[in-house]
Structures are given as C-alpha cells and as structure tokens.
Amino acid sequence: MFLVQYSNMNTTPLNIDKIRKDFPVLHQEVNGYPLVYMDNAASAQKPQLVIDTISHYYSYEHSNIHRGVHHLSAEATVKYEAARKTIQEHINASFDHEVIFTKGTTDGINLIANGFRGILSSGDEVIISGLEHHSNIVPWQMLCEYTGATLRVIPINDIGEIILEEYESLVSERTKLVALNHVSNTLGTINPVKELIELAHKKGAPVLLDGAQALPHMKVDVQDLDCEFYAFSGHKLYGPTGIGVLYGKEEWLNKLPPYQGGGDMIKSVSFEKTTYNELPFKFEAGTPHIAGALGLKAALDYCNQPEIGFESIGQYEGELLDYAMKQFESEGLSGDMEFYGTSKNKASVISFLLKGVHPYDTGTILDKLGIAVRTGHHCTEPIMDRYEIPGTVRASFSFYNTFEEVDRLIEGLKRVKKMFG
C-alpha cells in the first residue's frame, strides 16, 4: 500500500480534511477496511448540514404549504419558496417561477415529453444522442409512439463524443425537440452544449438538457446556455433523494399543459371545468417533497460557501481524474485495462474494464476491500452496444475523495488482476 501523503497535490483552496468531516457516512469501515466511496455518479453522499436541515424540518417545522393560515404552514411555505429562489439564483434562471420542483431528472424529462404530446405529429422528429441515459431515451420513444413522430439518434465516435457533423445533418425544420445530456453518466463526456443548442435554434428547435451529471461538477447558467429546458436531481448534488428541478423558459412552460392534476395546480374547480394555476404551481400537483426542497437548498448553500464553490470543486475533481490516469500508467495497469470515454473535455468519471475480467467480478472484489464502484451498463445499454461490451466498471469522483483513495483503488485493481491473472 502507498504510504506517501498526497494532500499537497491539491492546488485548489479546498480543505479536503475539513470537508470530509462534514460527511458522516464516509467515516466507517466496510469489510474491515475504511470506506472508499467512488459511486458518486449514481448518488452523492450528504453533508451534515443537509441531514440536520431535514431532521429539523420534520422535528419542528413540518406543515403542509400554500394552503394554511397558521404559523407552521406559513413558515414552511416561506422556506419552501426560499428554496426555489436559491435554485433560481444558482442556475441564473430569469424568474423563480421558471423553477419547477419534481421528483428528479427522470420526472422532469417525462413532464416535458408528456407536454409535447399535443405538439408533435407524424412527420415531426425528436433528436437525442448515443450518449443518453435511459431516462433521456425511453420518454422520447414513448412520445414518438404516441404521436407518430420519428426519433433520430446522433452517433458517437470511439472516444465517446457526439459526432458534430452527423448532428448538423440530422437537425432540420422537421426537428421539434432536441434532448441531450450535458455530461454523460457513463463516459464522463462533457458535451459542447452551447454549440449544439445554437445549431438547434437555427432550425427553430427547442432544447432540453439532462443536467443530472453536470450540476455536481460545475456552475450552470441556463440563460448563458439559452436552453429551453434543464432537468437535474437533488441526490446527485449532495441533497436528498426524491427531489429534483425542471427549469423551463417561461414562454414554454406557459405553452405546455399540466403534467398531473390535483391540489395546488388549480385556480378553481367545478364539475364542468377546471382553471389551472399560474407558474410554477401549474406543474406541482399535490403535496410536494417539502423536506426535499429544503434539503436541496441546504446542499447548494453548503457547496456555495466561499471556501468551497463549484469552480474549486470542478478543478479538484479534475486533479483527481488526472492523477488516477497517470497512476494507472505508472503502476503498470494501463496495459491490462480498456478505457471507455476518453474525450479531452470530461467530468471525473473513469469507465473501464480489466481485460479478461467481468465487471461484476471486479466490483465484487473491490467491495471486499471497502471500495464502492458501480458495475454494469449504468442505464446506458446503447453505449455498451456501441462498444460491444456487457458493461463497465465505473469509478466516479467527488470533491470529498482523496488522492490516497485513488491509490486504494489502484491497489485493489492490482489484487483483481492477480486473482484473475
């Protein structure tokens, strides 16, 4: 095992030791080893601030919102709407009513797909890419089946990038929506979304971005991107599960019908006719995940502290990624590994296979050593088909990971190699 301390390799202002103390789940043993958590692309861990915020809400503040005149209801309503305001400011939406609370990225994408049922017809086209998560494939397949529209797919090259020339040839006046991920969950590829959006807009097509894997690693400005819709999840952003956000431009959200019917999304109801509420409530039927919204606000507040910040988070995670790739080479592992997703512009995700070893076996042995990675197709079966493999091992880093943990991963992979060598 490596005994050298690599903390001085961190060139950002982040105090990683202090940050790690804020995440209680990290301080435990798994199978007799200190936990190394490298499954952040699936779900990130939660700082104590988020845990305390949720606990305090349920302990002392809980009440339903928007409909009560008593103290607890009024206070909960204020905090819920303050969470919306925090998110508006974080992503730089023009208005807070452009921020719709959802169950997560999948829910937000389905909301838009459902709304486009009345817009698309036979002969229209929806464009996605070969990099998409199933959640940004299946809803559009269902939409096309319902409307008679056609789904077009932008192919990717060998290093996991969208082939821009193919995209330019696909987008046309028939294109009624382009839906792409900002960052690939499997390959880590950061797509050139501004350029892709500009090309879509030249043909009059709106764009939805799946931002589930982007928000944890970078600052996102939806006005600068100029996308019509942007969806993301709280649990990948150090917040709770079951809460997410759909950003939509005001004009588009006003144009689309409600996704669900029920309380809070109405102005008036009679047996003859219902009048819908204004934004954002039109898309938030029923009692929302109040604690989740407060927890998501707490997660953003935590990450946006002056001593942290998303610029430093992204820089540090990039250092971890660079270090890992160099260590694979220097420790003699690279020749025994196949890497998938090697674009220059990528997030802190390494998707790989040890030659001759099934990814499940690699993941199982690493778990015995206290190292948590993800194995399988990562809800991106078309990517696996593109590379003609059953799946990969995915190590995904966060800003609470360390260089020492990368060394632990490498030592673990050496053990796997030796066992199957």
Catalytic option among 144, 227, 303, 379: 379
In whole angstroms, how far apart are CA 295 and each of 32, 95, 304, 340?
Answer: 32, 21, 14, 34
Phi, psi of 127 (to 5 degrees): -115, 130
Residue 234 and residue 289: Cα distance in Å, rounded?
11
Residue 409 and residue 411: Cα distance in Å, rounded?
6
- The length of the chain in residues reads 421
Strand partners, 153: 128
- Could you tell me if 112 and 101 are in contact, meaning their C-beta atoms sit under 8 angstroms apart? no
**Cis omega (within 30 of 0) on the bond before 280?**
yes
First to last CA, the chain: 20
Residue 38 and residue 163: Cα distance in Å, rounded?
29
Helices (H) and strands (E) in the chain, counts: 14, 17
Q: 71: burial class by Cβ within 10 Å (0-12, 13-18, 19+)?
A: exposed
Residue 31 and residue 372: Cα distance in Å, rounded?
11
| DSSP structure string for 252-309 | HHHHSPPSS-STTSEEEE-SS-EEE--TTGGG--SS--HHHHHHHHHHHHHHTSTTS-
Tokens, residue 78: 């204020």
Residue 338 and residue 216: Cα distance in Å, rounded?
26
Packing angle, helices 403-420 and 359-368, rounded to 10: 120
Q: Burial code of 274-311, b = ≥16 C-beta within 10 A, e = fewer?
A: eeebebbbbbbbeebbbbbbbbbbbbbbbbeeeebbbe
Per the annotation, the verdict on 227 as an active-site residue is no
For residue 109, give the nearest of 134, 84, 81 by alpha carbon: 134
Task: Establish how many alpha carbons lie within 13 A of residue 280's alpha carbon, considering only the half-sphere containing its beta carbon.
Answer: 22
Residue 320 and residue 211: Cα distance in Å, rounded?
22
- Could you tell me if 414 and 333 are in contact, meaning their C-beta atoms sit under 8 angstroms apart? yes
Catalytic center residues = 379
